C-alpha cells in the first residue's frame, strides 16, 4: 500500500507540474489549473475555519470573527495562487454594524471578493443544506452563521426573525446575495432581486450596505476561461431603513437595485475608456496575454507563446458577450425567494 501511495503521489506531482507549465501557453490548461487551485484553497480554508471557530469560541465574543479570518485566509491563498488583486472603494462603510450587506452574485468566484471585503463581526445567511458539507458546514455553524430552509415558508420567516434579533444583540453585519442565484452574465447586470433581505431590513430597521463587484466575465466564465488579474469592488453608502414599513419594501428594493446596476455600468464604462485609450495608440504587434499567479510564474520560465492566441481569446470573449444567457444554476448561497418572503 505504501509503494502504491508513493507512486500515486509521484504521478500526481508530475501531472501537476506539467499542467502548471502548460498553463503558461494554454487557456484550457490555465482553466483547469486555476479551478484546481481554487477548490484546494476552499478545502484548506474550510479546515482552517474549524480551527479558527474552535479557538475563537474560547474567547468571549470573538467567535463571530470566524468568517472574517476564513475570508482573509482564502483571499490570501487563492488570490496569490491564481493571481488576483482586488481593490475596494468605500471600505469605510463596512464599519457600520449592525447592518445588512447585499452583494451581486455572478459565480462561485464571488467567494474571492467576499474574502477581500468581509469585515469582522459578520455572518452569512446560507441554505440549510450547507450544514451537511464536510468542514464547511462545521465551521459555519461554529461561527454563528444563519441557515434558512428555502423549501419551508414558515421556517424561513422564523429564521429571518431570529436572525434579526441575533444581529442586534451581538451587533453583527449579515451578508446576503439578493439575486438568490448566480447570474453568469457576460455583461453588467443583475437578476431580479428577491424580497427576503428587504423585509428583514425593514423588520429590524437596519441599514442596507450594497456591495458591487465589477463584471468579470472577461476573466472567468465558469466553463473555459479562468484568468487572474485586477478586480474592483465598490462598497456603496448605507441606505437607511428607519421609519420604513412593509409598504416600502418594493421602493427599497428598487433603490438598492438601481444603485447596484448604476455602479456596475460605471465599472464597465471605465473599462471602455481604457480600451479606447489603447485603441487610440495602437501597436504594430499584438500584445501577448498577461498571465498571473502560479501560471504567471510558469510563463516567466517558458514564455506565453504566440500573441495571436491572445487576440483569438479576446474575440471569444467578445462573442460571449453577444450570446444570450443560458439557464441559471441554483446558488450555494441563495436566498429565500419572493414567494417565501414574509407577508404582513
For residue range 139-171, what is the model confidence (pLDDT) as tens digits?
Answer: 888 888 888 887 777 787 788 888 888 898 889
Residue 305: partners with Cβ closer than 8 Å, 6 or more residues away: 24, 25, 288
Question: Does the domain formed by 17-280+291-322 have CATH 3.90.550?
Answer: no
Report the candidate in 236, 253, 235 with the shortest Cα–Cα distance to residue 244: 253
Instruction: Give pLDDT tens digits for 30-62.
Output: 999 999 999 999 999 999 999 999 999 898 888
Cell of 44: 484548506
The residue ranges of DSSP E strands in the chain, in sequence order, are 84-89, 99-103, 122-127, 146-148, 173-176, 208-213, 229-235
Question: What is the predicted pLDDT for the residue at 20?
Answer: 95
Q: Up-side HSE of residue 166: CA atoms within 13 Å toward CB?
A: 21
Cell of 98: 449592525
Instruction: Print the SS3 string covering 247-270.
Output: HHHHHHHHHHHHHHHHHHHHHHHH
Q: What average pLDDT score do residues 122-142 get? A: 84
Is 315's pLDDT higher than 90?
no
Cell of 284: 504594430
Report the candidate in 195, 208, 200 with the shortest Cα–Cα distance to residue 235: 208
Residue reference for cell 455553524: 141
**Pair 221, 320: CB distance under 8 Å:** yes
Is 343's pLDDT higher than 50?
no
Question: What is the predicted pLDDT for the residue at 336?
Answer: 40
- Which of 114-128, 147-161, 203-217, 229-243 has the weakest average pLDDT? 147-161
Q: What average pLDDT score do residues 112-122 get? A: 95
Cell of 335: 436566498
Residue 161: partners with Cβ closer than 8 Å, 6 or more residues away: 203
125 bridge partner residues: 146
Residue 75: partners with Cβ closer than 8 Å, 6 or more residues away: 86, 112, 115, 116
Q: Up-side HSE of residue 229: CA atoms within 13 Å toward CB?
A: 16
Cell of 178: 439578493
Q: What percent of the chain clears pLDDT 70, i.e. is strictly above it? A: 85
The most confident of 52-61, 136-145, 291-300, 308-317, by mean pLDDT: 291-300
Cis peptide bond prior to 338, omega within 30° of 0:
no
Whole-structure pTM value: 0.84
**Pair 146, 124: CB distance under 8 Å:** yes
Residue 15: partners with Cβ closer than 8 Å, 6 or more residues away: none
Amino acid at each position: 500500500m505504501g509503494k502504491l501511495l508513493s507512486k500515486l503521489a509521484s504521478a500526481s506531482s508530475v501531472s501537476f507540474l506539467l499542467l502548471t507549465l502548460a498553463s503558461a501557453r494554454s487557456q484550457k490548461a490555465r482553466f483547469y489549473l486555476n479551478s484546481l487551485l481554487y477548490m484546494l484553497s476552499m478545502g484548506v480554508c474550510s479546515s482552517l475555519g474549524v480551527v479558527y471557530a474552535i479557538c475563537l469560541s474560547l474567547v468571549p465574543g470573538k467567535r463571530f470573527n470566524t468568517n472574517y479570518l476564513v475570508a482573509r485566509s482564502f483571499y490570501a491563498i487563492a488570490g496569490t495562487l491564481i493571481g488576483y488583486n482586488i481593490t475596494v472603494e468605500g471600505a469605510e462603510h463596512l464599519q457600520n454594524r449592525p447592518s445588512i450587506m447585499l452583494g451581486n452574485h455572478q459565480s462561485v468566484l464571488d467567494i474571492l471578493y467576499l474574502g477581500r471585503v468581509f469585515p469582522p463581526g459578520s455572518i452569512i445567511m446560507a441554505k440549510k443544506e450547507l450544514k451537511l458539507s464536510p468542514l464547511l458546514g462545521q465551521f459555519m455553524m461554529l461561527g454563528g452563521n444563519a441557515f434558512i430552509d428555502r423549501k419551508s415558508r414558515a421556517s424561513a420567516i422564523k429564521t429571518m426573525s431570529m436572525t434579526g434579533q441575533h444581529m442586534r444583540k451581538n451587533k453583527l453585519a449579515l451578508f446576503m446575495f439578493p439575486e438568490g442565484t448566480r447570474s453568469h452574465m457576460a455583461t453588467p447586470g443583475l437578476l431580479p432581486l428577491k424580497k427576503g433581505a428587504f423585509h428583514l431590513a425593514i423588520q429590524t430597521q437596519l441599514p442596507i450596505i450594497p456591495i458591487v463587484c465589477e463584471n468579470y466575465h472577461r476573466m472567468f466564465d465558469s466553463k473555459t476561461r479562468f484568468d487572474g488579474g485586477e478586480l474592483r469592488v465598490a462598497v456603496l453608502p448605507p441606505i437607511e431603513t428607519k421609519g420604513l414599513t412593509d409598504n416600502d419594501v418594493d421602493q427599497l428594493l428598487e433603490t438598492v437595485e438601481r444603485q447596484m446596476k448604476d455602479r456596475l455600468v460605471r465599472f464597465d464604462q471605465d473599462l471602455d475608456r481604457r480600451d479606447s485609450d489603447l485603441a487610440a495608440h495602437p501597436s504594430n504587434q499584438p500584445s501577448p496575454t498577461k498571465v498571473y499567479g502560479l501560471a504567471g510564474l510558469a510563463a516567466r520560465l517558458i514564455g506565453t507563446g504566440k500573441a495571436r492566441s491572445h487576440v483569438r481569446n479576446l474575440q471569444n470573449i467578445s462573442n460571449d458577450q453577444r450570446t444570450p444567457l443560458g439557464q441559471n444554476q441554483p446558488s450555494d448561497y441563495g436566498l429565500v425567494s419572493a414567494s417565501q418572503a414574509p407577508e404582513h
